[in-house]
């Protein structure tokens, strides 16, 4: 079984509801603040708005920026919250030699690629498109208009798991997948073994509100968490440092935390006392700089938790 | 001379003892003779000329010990390094074999071309693999069959359009996509013998409506390394008939 690596219609429908409500919440978040102090995560969103529009910035070389203590992780990514392009929009021009990621702000598969790009510090421009009703110019780039898709010099690659491996091959000096063949295969197998997290997330959002379905969903989540707890044998699934499996699964685990806001779930705390390793793991992942820049959890809880359910 | 040993061994089932660990430098592939996913691994090992011993598993009465090889109890599973290394997933095994045997690498070295092969395989698989399953499950419901036939024909139209040259590799020799998608085409070929009303012919399959595909299928079928890793039409069709009767089919023809 090959895991889905993109937001197709079914996945986008899962996210559509969140998208609409979260977009409203985010717009509100950009109102002039009534209090001088920002939530640390809100600052990250605000800081991206201050990035000059792509057309006015000089072309950047399509090579990783050498690490500098003055540049924060994620500063290589422009346009993270650019307005979504719908049918009728005009294709933004792409400068030769520059990378572009076609994304949707709340797509967990696109988030995989963003985390990878931030970790590898690859300069990239993000263009958000509507995956359910794609602009006509986008359809030749990606089958059925799915996101994410990575483009450079007219070449387009899609499927999140394929894109990230492609990035590791293009920029091998800071590869995330292990170089050892067996360890590399094992990381891919781990993503497959952790996939109940993904399934539990989609089943939760896709199911009805009747009590029987709710109990089944909670059971699925417990089963997925037990499995994840058993498979975590080091600080991260990648070993002492986060790796491929961590980055590919994190967007789904992050969203699963929203269960605690739902009246349809018995989860009041996530992951709860029965999964101590996963609880500690979540805290560690939330503090990884390449993950922090794209954190949805606190933002969701703060801005959308009261409106979604 | 095939490098695969035991491809037609009897399937091990519940109660059968576990085989001893493979000896050093021996590769073992746990398979099921008629499983298209396992056939991918067998074809890849065969084409790369990796001497391998094949152990077949009865997928309806799986031995308990097999779950220590593959936590899902599925095939294929690759085992080597005296049993210390186990690789599962038909999507992972071929790349792993290319990584550890780079001298017979099948995937392109160029990162973009490599990615294109993987994406092309996914596009073809997404359409073909479920299409066969849908037709097969609808065999006893003639009213459903017509609809399923249409999805197969649509899949073949796309497969024909995606085949730009002689092979999906884009070169004059078969490659990654050709070897790994072949089992899915072969299963549909078997359907042409099972169903008189099937809309594609057995002769020169898949027929004059798909000229490039017909040449392609004939060429891949004729490759000795592919044939050595595949079951004959007679056994394949016979196993499907047994399955339709609800009879065990893993050792059909042995």
Calpha distance A31→A52 (Å, rounded): 19
pLDDT-based confidence at B243, cuts 50/70/90? confident
Q: How far does Cα A100 stand from its chain's mean position?
A: 16
This complex has an ipTM of: 0.92
Residue in A179, A142, A178 with CA at minimum distance from that of residue A160: A142
Q: Which of residues 145-164 of A touch B (CB under 8 A)?
A: 155, 157-159, 162
Handedness of CA A147, A244, B99, B129 (dihedral sign): negative
Its CATH class, for the domain covering A77-170, is: alpha beta
**Given an 8 Å threshold on Cβ–Cβ distance, is A185 in contact with B112?**
no
> Given this model, what pLDDT does residue A7 score?
62
Greater pLDDT, B197 or B170: B170
Query: Which residue among B89, B100, B118 places its CB closest to the CB of A189?
Result: B89
Assigned architecture for domain B4-104: 3-Layer(aba) Sandwich (3.40)
Among 1.10.630.10, 4.10.520.10, 1.20.1050.10, 3.30.200.20, name the CATH number for the domain at B111-222: 1.20.1050.10
In SS3 terms, A156-212 reads as EEECHHHHHHHHHHHCHHHCCCCCCHHHHHHHHHHHHHCCHHHHHHHHHHHCCCCHH
Pairing of β B77-80 and β B27-31? antiparallel
Is pLDDT of B65 > 50? Answer: yes
Domain locations along chain A: 77-170, 181-301
Number of Cβ within 10 Å of residue A92's Cβ equals: 14
Query: Which residue among B88, B100, B111 places its CB closest to the CB of A181?
Result: B100
> Given this model, what pLDDT does residue A9 score?
45
The predicted-structure confidence for B117-128, as pLDDT tens digits, reads as follows 999 998 899 888
The predicted-structure confidence for A101-116, as pLDDT tens digits, reads as follows 999 878 899 989 999 9
**Given an 8 Å threshold on Cβ–Cβ distance, is B111 in contact with A184?**
no
Secondary element (H or E) of residue B59: none
Q: What is the mean pLDDT of residues A223-245?
A: 92
The predicted-structure confidence for A253-295, as pLDDT tens digits, reads as follows 988 887 787 887 878 778 898 899 999 999 989 888 888 776 6
Query: Which residue among A2, A162, A189 places its CB closest to the CB of B88?
Result: A189
Chain B residues touching A157 at Cβ < 8 A: 112, 115, 119
Q: How far does Cα B78 stand from its chain's mean position?
A: 15
> Given this model, what pLDDT does residue B160 score?
95
Least confidently predicted of A137-141, A182-186, B64-68, B150-154: B150-154
> Given this model, what pLDDT does residue B148 score?
84
Calculate the dihedral angle through the C-alpha atoms of B150, B152, B156, B158, rounding to the nearest 10 degrees: 70
Order across the sheet with B77-80: list the strands.
B4-5, B52-56, B27-31, B77-80, B85-88
Secondary element (H or E) of residue B80: strand B77-80
The predicted-structure confidence for A73-82, as pLDDT tens digits, reads as follows 677 887 888 8
Is pLDDT of A69 > 50? Answer: no
The SS3 assignment for B233 reads helix
> Given this model, what pLDDT does residue B129 score?
83
Secondary element (H or E) of residue B230: none
Chain B residues touching A175 at Cβ < 8 A: none
Fold match between domain B4-104 and domain B111-222: no
Q: What is the mean pLDDT of residues B43-66?
A: 94
User: What is the nearest CA distance from A105 to chain B, expressed in angstroms?
Assistant: 24
Domain locations along chain B: 4-104, 111-222
Chain B residues touching A143 at Cβ < 8 A: 123
Chain B residues touching A186 at Cβ < 8 A: 87
Its CATH class, for the domain covering A181-301, is: mainly alpha
């Amino acid at each position: 079984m090959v895991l889905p690596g993109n937001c197709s219609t079914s996945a986008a429908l899962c996210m559509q509801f969140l998208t609409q409500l979260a977009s409203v919440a985010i717009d509100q978040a950009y109102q002039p603040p009534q209090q001088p102090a920002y939530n640390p995560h809100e600052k990250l969103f605000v800081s991206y708005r201050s990035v000059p529009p792509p057309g006015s910035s000089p072309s950047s070389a399509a090579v990783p920026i050498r690490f500098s203590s003055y540049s924060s992780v994620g500063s290589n990514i422009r346009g993270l919250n650019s307005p979504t392009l719908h049918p009728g929009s005009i294709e933004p021009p792409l400068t030769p030699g520059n990378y572009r990621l076609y994304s949707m702000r709340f797509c967990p598969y696109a988030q995989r690629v963003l985390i990878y790009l931030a970790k590898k510090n690859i300069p990239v421009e993000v263009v958000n498109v509507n995956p359910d009703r794609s602009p006509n110019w986008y359809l030749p780039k990606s089958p059925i208009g799915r996101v994410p898709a990575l483009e450079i010099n007219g070449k387009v690659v899609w499927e999140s798991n394929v894109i990230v491996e492609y990035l590791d091959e293009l920029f091998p000096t800071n590869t995330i997948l292990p170089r050892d063949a067996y360890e590399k295969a094992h990381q891919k197998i781990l993503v497959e073994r952790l996939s109940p997290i993904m399934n539990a997330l989609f089943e939760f959002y896709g199911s009805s509100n009747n009590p029987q379905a709710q109990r089944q969903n909670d059971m699925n989540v417990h089963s997925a968490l037990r499995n994840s707890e058993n498979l975590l044998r080091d600080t991260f699934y990648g070993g002492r440092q986060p790796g491929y499996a961590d980055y590919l699964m994190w967007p789904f685990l992050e969203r699963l935390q929203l269960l605690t806001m739902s009246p349809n779930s018995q989860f009041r705390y996530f992951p709860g006392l029965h999964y101590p390793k996963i609880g500690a793991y979540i805290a560690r992942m939330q503090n990884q700089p390449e993950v922090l820049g794209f954190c949805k959890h606190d933002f969701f809880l703060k801005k959308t938790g009261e409106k979604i359910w | 001379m095939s490098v695969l040993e035991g491809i037609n061994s009897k399937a091990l089932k519940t109660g059968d003892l576990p085989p001893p660990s493979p000896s050093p430098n021996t590769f073992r592939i746990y398979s099921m003779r008629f499983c298209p996913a396992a056939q991918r691994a067998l074809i890849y090992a065969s084409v790369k000329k990796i001497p391998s011993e094949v152990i077949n598993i009865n997928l309806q009465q799986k031995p308990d010990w097999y779950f220590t090889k593959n936590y899902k109890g599925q095939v294929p599973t690759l085992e080597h390094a005296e049993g210390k290394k186990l690789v599962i997933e038909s999507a992972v095994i071929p790349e792993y074999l290319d990584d550890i045997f780079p001298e017979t690498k099948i995937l392109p070295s160029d990162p973009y071309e490599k990615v294109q092969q993987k994406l092309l395989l996914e596009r073809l698989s997404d359409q073909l693999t479920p299409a066969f399953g849908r037709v097969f499950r609808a065999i006893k419901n003639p009213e459903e069959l017509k609809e399923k036939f249409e999805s197969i024909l649509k899949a073949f139209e796309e497969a024909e359009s995606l085949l730009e040259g002689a092979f999906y590799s884009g070169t004059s020799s078969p490659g990654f996509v050709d070897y790994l998608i072949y089992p899915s085409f072969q299963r549909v070929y078997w359907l042409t013998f099972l169903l008189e009303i099937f809309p594609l012919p057995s002769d020169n399959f898949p027929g004059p409506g798909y000229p490039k595909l017909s040449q392609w299928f004939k060429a891949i079928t004729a490759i000795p390394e592919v044939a050595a890793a595949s079951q004959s039409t007679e056994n394949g069709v016979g196993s499907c008939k047994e399955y339709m009767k609800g009879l065990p089919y893993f050792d059909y023809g042995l």
